[in-house]
Structure 1
């Protein structure tokens, strides 16, 4: 199972250097059936989805990773390739 909830908080943590919400997301999603497993990922074929973040949190990720509105997608995501996104976060 893809853990989209934790994934969005991971990008927030990378963009802001704040890990409190990522830690909480990991805790909130740890209780799953014993025959299941979370798939933690950076990106699949879709855009980087930030729809589960608050507006303020999403704006902070946009400011760091996709300030140009042409990179933002559906007011909840970023269409940038992962390599470029990681380069922007690192700068």
Structure 2
């Protein structure tokens, strides 16, 4: 029983480490804004293509950033849930 619990904990740690390396990339404004988010829901990189941004319309750029952030976080959560779901079934036996 204890061996199974240790194995499960090790599998969870492994999945968490894999999520650190997982990069989700999303874009908005037809590529004007590109955001990379890790499987841990941390923003890794934001790229803004200056040739596609109208500095007279900053609200549009802000909107694109919001869209990309929202989409990126949602996709990262989906990736994390898919990776962790198979491991979560046995947590009841750990008392969690």
Shorter-chain TM-score tier: under 0.3
TM-score scaled to structure 2, two decimals? Answer: 0.27
Bigger radius of gyration among the two: 2
Structure with more of its chain in strand, by fraction: 2
With structure 1 as the length reference, what TM-score do the two structures score? Answer: 0.28
State the structure with bigger RCO (CA 8 A, min sep 6), 1 or 2: 1
